Amino acid sequence: MDLYTLLISALCTLLLPVLLFLTAVKLWDLYCVSQRDTTCGAPLPPGTMGLPFFGETLQMVLQRKKFLQAKRRTYGRIYKTHLFGTPTVRVMGADNVRQILLGEHKLVSVQWPASVRTILGSRCLSNLHNSQHKEMKKVIMQAFSREAMENYVPVIEEEMRSAMGGWLQDGSCVLLYPAVKRLMFRIAMRVLLGFETQQMEDTEEQPMIEAFEEMIRNLFSLPIDIPFSGLYRGLRARNIIHAKIEQNIKEKLNKEPERSWKDALQLLIDHSQRKGEPIDLQALKESATELLFGGHGTTASAATSLITFLALNNGVVQKVRAELQAKGLLSTKPDERKDLSIEILQQLQYTDCVLKETLRLNPPVPGGFRVALKTFTLNGYQIPKGWNVIYSIADTHDEADIFPNKDEFNPDRFLTPFPQDSSRFNFIPFGGGVRTCVGKEFAKILLKIFIVELCRNCDWELLNGTPAMKTSPIVYPMDDLPTTFRPFNGAI
């Protein structure tokens, strides 16, 4: 065989796989684009569809912020992609998001990726529709009434003071994000599911926390349930959580409640019994798991962001403390402080602005998923029936023209009312429309108490300065936020 023949053979060996791959990618792109609704005159949004079957899921999971920033720079506020096995349109900007959020049941319906639906379950609130969703939401909202939350305040204070006391006694570095997650997990276990966490040993609590971590890490996975896949690991972790919740449900069924108030899980049990049908244990476990996920993961993210922004903005801390002092809440002697209540917490206007500014810059949940019920147009582009729609909370906040100096942490911007209706869809940390987060008032009260307890008990310093943030799927600091604490001496 001569040199020329060898060279041709080598080139064919190298080039043929490349050509086949490029051909497959082109055919995949043509196939995805062919799903456009030809009865609609509007074009599909700009964008790319990635690799066959996998789409752009791997790039999004591995390079989330870099990937999304590049897409936004290239294609603007509406673009097409292919994520989690489904053609998808990603949407941002108040006007575009308004149409999506107000189009529930008419244009779109909630539909999380297959992996989320499989792990959380089809009977949890996020995956219910129409009358079932309305009925379940009504039951759960009882757990977030003003009367119910008044009962939660002393429990939340107790857990926060205990946790912060430990941070102050440590005398060294506290990896704050894991510590805050544990704190919020304990609070959610007590007030939402009725667990007596004081009676839980570390050997019981820690496996639950680790299982939740594993489940959350794998919520957004390719829908492939094979050993060692993300979905497989997520389901195994979920089963550990379900086993513990099932034990708690059976205990509730076999004894009278000891409290004068009912937690969310007890309300769900009562609702099931009133219907006169056998208890649907699986549905209760799915609902309880969702409550625990929503009740501690997002609040842990927000609380960690609060600590970060306050540590980097001492002037804001001083303003918070001045407000607390004016309300009789700052004394370093606990017996001289007013008791916290929903009424007092709602009077803390500047503290509320601090929370809003934190949620503007670092919304814990970056967006939401919908599916198009019919083909419709959005800002000149068609969204075909059956395609997924992701609305971006983080990008919508960043795009909002009503917030000057967007990158600056400035709670004062919320002291002045915005023009009527202008902020409704420019600021959406809890979503909007009929799918607004059911626990948003609980989250606000919880996080306000966190700010109060933090500012009147602690001074703190971030050891690594401003942390790099990651989303997976909740926003968190990549370095776990190593922090040192010392007691607040009462001087402002």
The CATH code of the domain that includes 438 is 1.10.630.10
Is 421 a member of any domain?
yes
**Would you say 183 and 160 are in contact if contact means Cβ atoms under 8 Å apart?**
yes
Query: Which residues form the domain of 128?
Result: 35-487
Tell me what pLDDT residue 223 has. 82
Strand extents, DSSP E, 36-172: 78-83, 86-91, 108-110
Tell me what pLDDT residue 391 has. 95
Tell me what pLDDT residue 449 has. 97
Q: Within a 10 A sphere around the Cβ of 432, how many other Cβ atoms?
A: 21
The pLDDT profile of the chain, 492 residues, written as one tens digit per residue, is 566 676 666 666 666 666 666 666 666 666 666 677 888 889 999 998 888 777 888 888 778 888 888 999 999 999 999 988 889 999 999 999 999 999 988 999 988 888 888 988 888 888 888 888 888 888 888 888 899 899 999 999 999 999 999 999 867 789 999 999 999 999 998 888 888 755 555 567 788 888 888 998 888 887 888 888 888 999 999 999 999 888 888 888 887 766 677 888 888 888 888 767 777 888 889 888 888 888 888 999 999 999 999 999 999 999 999 999 999 888 767 677 778 999 999 999 999 999 999 999 999 988 999 999 999 999 999 999 999 999 999 999 998 989 999 999 999 999 988 776 666 899 999 988 888 888 899 999 999 999 999 999 999 999 998 899 888 778 899 999 999 999 998 767
Considering its fold, how many domains does the chain have in total? 1
Tell me what pLDDT residue 225 has. 83
Distance between CA 153 and CA 181 in Å, rounded? Answer: 19
Is 19 a member of any domain?
no
Tell me what pLDDT residue 197 has. 59
Distance between CA 264 and CA 194 in Å, rounded? Answer: 8
Instruction: Give φ, ψ of 252 to 5 degrees.
Output: -65, -35
**Sequence-distant (≥ 6) Cβ neighbours of residue 118 within 8 angstroms:** 223, 225, 231, 235
Cis check for the bond before 178: say yes or no (omega within 30 of 0).
no
Q: What is the DSSP letter of 427?
A: -
Tell me what pLDDT residue 278 has. 78
392-401 confidence digits (pLDDT tens): 999 999 989 8
3-state secondary structure of 60: helix
Q: For the CA atoms of the chain, what is the radius of gyration?
A: 25
Q: How much is the pTM? A: 0.88
How buried is residue 138: exposed, middle or buried, by Cβ count under 10 Å (0-12/13-18/19+)? exposed
CA distances from 360 to 143, 290, 291, 423, 440 (A): 26, 24, 23, 11, 14
Distance between CA 427 and CA 349 in Å, rounded? Answer: 18
Is 97 a member of any domain?
yes
Identity (one letter) of the amino acid at 59?
A: Q
Is 287 a member of any domain?
yes
Distance between CA 353 and CA 411 in Å, rounded? Answer: 5
Is 399 a member of any domain?
yes
Tell me what pLDDT residue 4 has. 66
Tell me what pLDDT residue 250 has. 87
Tell me what pLDDT residue 421 has. 62
**Would you say 19 and 12 are in contact if contact means Cβ atoms under 8 Å apart?**
no
Q: Where are the alpha helices (DSSP H) in 327-424?
A: 342-347, 349-361, 393-399
Residue closest to 128 by CA, chosen among 286, 351, 254: 286
Tell me what pLDDT residue 420 has. 65
CA distances from 98 to 113, 363, 397, 449 (A): 22, 18, 13, 31
Tell me what pLDDT residue 307 has. 97
Compute, in degrees rounded to 10, the torsion defined by CA atoms 431, 437, 439, 444.
Answer: 10
CA distances from 117 to 126, 285, 295, 473 (A): 9, 14, 18, 15
Tell me what pLDDT residue 36 has. 78
Tell me what pLDDT residue 271 has. 82
Would residue 199 be called left, alpha or beta, if left means φ above 0 and alpha means ψ between -120 and 50 degrees? alpha
Q: Where are the alpha helices (DSSP H) in 275-426?
A: 281-312, 314-326, 342-347, 349-361, 393-399
